[in-house]
Amino acid sequence: DNKIIIAIDGYSSSGKSSMARALASSIGYRYVDSGAMYRAVTLWGLRRGIVSDGTVDEEALIAALPDIAIDFQPIPGEGQHTLLCGEDVESEIRSLRVSDNVSQVAVIPAVRHHLVALQQQFGREKGIVMDGRDIGTTVFPDAEMKVFVDASAETRAHRRFLELQQKGMEATYEDVLANVKQRDHIDTTRAESPLTKASDAISLDNSDMTIAEQNEWLIELYNRIL
């Protein structure tokens, strides 16, 4: 059969994860959230004091990488949950504490190499939708379908704020906007595979699109590429 690899990259809280998850479920592909993997490594470090308030003990974190087991568990009707050494950390990795520290962890080349190798393993049999920052450029440069999602920082912060509120997590809109802007900056200016649109990726600005319109757009593109 002709299963392909689909790479969906973009800024934080651009809605790319929801789009990627919905697309994967409509076409019967596996979905992998690469950001969740960086978040899980960050949580592991935070719990041990190796990561705190934007500083990272790089040496300790790099030494621990082989012990930081990350996997995904399908949850019927809910997509999947992220497992850290077998523990379901899906909601904890979305906290502002993790969001505030994850970009500092994601700049470390050894962390990236480790996770990129793992991500490539997930894609070995194709039939996968992966979302992140460097999927179309670094993880799967030969992906058959590449999408780059964008929306204004304010639109994205507003979405993230509503999401956190729904989950009962405390945060102000100003804090969330500051976090979104700070992550944009770190993600686009880091030396190792910075967030950038692959030259063969198709751009989508979803600021004024409903979820249904975004899904339709993706499926249309998928059918055209297939």
Which residues here bind ligand C5P, judged by CB under 6 A? 12, 34-35, 38-39, 102-103, 106, 132-135, 183, 187
Minimum CB–partner distance for residue 69 and ligand C5P (Å): 18
In DSSP terms, 33 is beta-bridged to: 131
> Are 12 and 188 a contacting pair, CB within 8 Å?
no
10 is an annotated ligand-binding site residue: yes
Backbone angles phi, psi at 210, to 5 degrees: -80, 165
**Helix (H/G/I), strand (E/B), else coil: 187:** helix
> Are 76 and 89 a contacting pair, CB within 8 Å?
no
> Are 40 and 70 a contacting pair, CB within 8 Å?
yes
Minimum CB–partner distance for residue 134 and ligand C5P (Å): 5
Closest Cα partner for 190 from 117, 107, 112, 129?
107
Which residue, 10 or 29, is less far from ligand C5P as judged by CB?
10
Minimum CB–partner distance for residue 39 and ligand C5P (Å): 6
52 is an annotated ligand-binding site residue: no
25 is an annotated ligand-binding site residue: no
Q: Which two structure tokens, joined as six digits, stand for 120?
A: 């490539």
12 is an annotated ligand-binding site residue: yes
* Torsion sign over Cα 155, 158, 163, 169: positive
11 is an annotated ligand-binding site residue: yes
The distance from CA 26 to its chain's CA centroid, rounded to whole angstroms, is 20
Minimum CB–partner distance for residue 146 and ligand C5P (Å): 13
Residue 13 and residue 10: Cα distance in Å, rounded?
9
Which residue, 56 or 106, is less far from ligand C5P as judged by CB?
106
Which residue, 90 or 134, is less far from ligand C5P as judged by CB?
134
Minimum CB–partner distance for residue 224 and ligand C5P (Å): 25
Which residue, 133 or 146, is less far from ligand C5P as judged by CB?
133
168 is an annotated ligand-binding site residue: no
Binding site as annotated, residues for ATP: 10-18
Binding site as annotated, residues: 10-18
